Structure 1
Amino acid sequence: MSAAMDFEPAGELKIGQVGIANLRIRTLDVDRLVDEMRGRVQRAPKLFGRAAVVIDFGGLTRTPDEATARALIEGLREAGALPVALAYGTSEIERLSEALGLPLLAKFRASYERDDAAPAQDAKPSRREPEAPAKPAAKSTPAPVATAANVAPGMIQSAPVRSGQQVYADNRDLTVLTTVGAGAEVIADGSVHIYGPLRGRALAGAQGNEQARIFCREFHAELVAIAGHYKVMEEIPKELRGKAVQIWLEDQQLKIAALD
């Protein structure tokens, strides 16, 4: 097997906004999937140890049989994770979930379908009839800004976020004025700005916004993630620790760079 193939994981793991991870199966190799999960738990036990996991078979051409699915579930449990549901897909997956005694969850499917689907647009712009010249108005009235009513103000967290606490900014940015402690978690559907040390976890673009970013004045993170793509402490270059950094997503890869 080539190095490029070895680099590709058998299962793509993304982090959800409520601490539930979605494991989309790319290659139905139970031993390999279990080994990958065991490695994740060992590298980041606070994040993945006893983590609730939704198994998504939607990336496969065929739905696995019940025996294979049960072997995967048991293997993931032995590796330290806790499979809690299957991601909704076909009628075959629905029957499999009933046989396994697991519920179906649909929310994780949307982000993958947005990633994989081609834009449904016509190649040529639609023709429009020429418009009649507008008559001059008696008074010039400024046009209202259509998006203003839909923009939620950013959420500001002024108190320190301590171990075990979670702060979530729904459909907006999050600004933390002080510290995010080890074992704490800050999450936003938009971007995350942290003006103190980040020692816990920061997740931006929780609903799949790949344009979201994380800005941090003092970087010691346990984990950072944007739109489900994550890095744990062991994967972060040592020269960036303690620095002011920004984090963004580029070509489905998480990038971290020091701020000048």
Structure 2
Amino acid sequence: MAAAQIDYAQAGELKIGQVGIANLRVRTLDVAQLAQEMRERVQRAPKLFERAAVIVDFGGLAQTPDAAIARALLDALRGAGVIPVALAYGSSDNEKLAVELGLPLLSKFRAQYETPGGAPTEPPTAPAARRDHAAADAPPAKAAAAAPAPHGGQPGMIQTAPVRSGQQIYADNRDLTVLTSVGAGAEVLADGSVHIYGALRGRALAGAQGNEKARIFCREFHAELVAVAGHYKVLEEIPKELRGKAVQIWLENEQLNIAALD
């Protein structure tokens, strides 16, 4: 009697990679205010934030909230139009809270910010984790070549083909140079600076691991969103006179600045 054949084909293929998820760092545990702020963000840029995945980060608080308050915040954020999907990795209390809430912890960079004794420190992905005061004092660069080098000194990554809608390009620990365009719905990220020699219609994020000296340069500016070290602006917040122009974006005194290139 012939043995029955077993089908080992997978019904679903799981891949782990970079994903563009917003991080909400809670600084004041005021549920109503946090919900209102998020509601306003969704109203200003619904294409970006409506039903967007959000990671809730309690690392900026002196004490981790209890489960009842955390659940109230999650419900309020859902009511504001976004979807909380995880907690940011932090203390052991935060880990217990995640278990109570039935949410995962975002621990992608866990090995980089744990001390040898196992006690967690502040994640490097938090916008305020690495504050370089020299960056705030530096004058705006005049050309893309003046952009600071990323951490580690690796050679930059060059993207020669257009980045199309739905694509994401990530330059790990280095600069990213896009020789053509970034389409609407596309996303480019770098731990260093981002240089775009064509039109930017999607999203560009520099300093993805907190490098506040990183900058963004583009030849034709129509971006859906730009961010440096977690500080962002959406198209609706950008002066109309800069749209379609060659611009640079940099961080100074924790404020994101956008200016036309000479």
| Residue 116 of structure 1, CA deviation | 7.5
> Residue 51 of structure 1 corresponds to which residue in structure 2?
52
Q: Deviations over 1:158-197 (max 9, x none)?
A: 1111111111111111111111111111111111111111
CA distance in 1, matches of 2:252, 2:87: 29
- Label 1:200 to 1:29 Cα distance change in 2 as closer, same or farther (>3 A): same
- Which residue matches 2:188? 186
TM-score (norm: length of structure 2)? 0.75
Is 1:39 the counterpart of 2:52 in the alignment?
A: no
After TM superposition, the structure 1 = structure 2 runs for residues 187-206 of structure 1, keeping only pairs within 5 Å, are 187-206=189-208
Distance 1:176 1:115, change over 3 A: closer
Distance in 2 (CA, whole Å) between partners of 1:186 and 1:239 is 24
Correspondences of 1:161-240 after superposition (within 5 Å): 161-240=163-242
Alignment of 1:16-27 (within 5 A): 18-27=19-28
TM-score normalised by structure 1 residue count: 0.76
Aligned to 1:110: 123
Q: State the match for 1:136 in structure 2.
A: none
Separation in 2, partners of 1:86, 1:240: 36
Which amino acid is 2:102 matched to? Answer: G
| Distance in structure 2 (CA, Å) of the matches to 1:30 and 1:240 | 36
Partner amino acid, structure 2, of 1:178 = T
Larger Cα-atom Rg: 1
**Take 1:240 and 1:182, find their aligned partners in 2: how far apart are those partners?**
18
| 1:114 aligned partner, one-letter code | A
Task: Please say which of residues 44-53 and 185-194 is displaced more in the overlay.
Answer: 44-53
Residue 73 of structure 1 aligns with an amino acid whose one-letter code is: L
**Change beyond 3 A, Cα 1:89–1:152:** closer
Q: Deviations over 1:203-257 (max 9, x none)?
A: 1111111111111111111111011110000111111111111111111111111
Q: In structure 1, the residue corresponding to 2:195 is in which secondary structure?
A: strand
Distance 2:154 2:89 in 1: 31
Distance 1:173 1:54 in 2: 26
Q: CA deviation at 1:81?
A: 1.3
Aligned to 2:101: 100
Cα 1:89/1:169, change in 2 over 3 Å: closer
Q: Which runs of 4+ in 1 moved over 4 A?
A: none
Match of 2:161 among 154, 159, 172: 159
Question: For the Cα contact (< 8 Å) 2:170–2:189, is it kept in 1?
Answer: yes
Listed as ranges, the gaps of 5+ residues in structure 1 are 1-16, 118-149
Give the number of equivalent residue pairs.
Answer: 213
Task: Provide the identity percentage.
Answer: 75
Distance 1:116 1:184, change over 3 A: closer
Tell me what 2:251 maps to: 249
| Cα 1:186/1:155, change in 2 over 3 Å | same
Q: Secondary structure at the match of 1:187?
A: strand
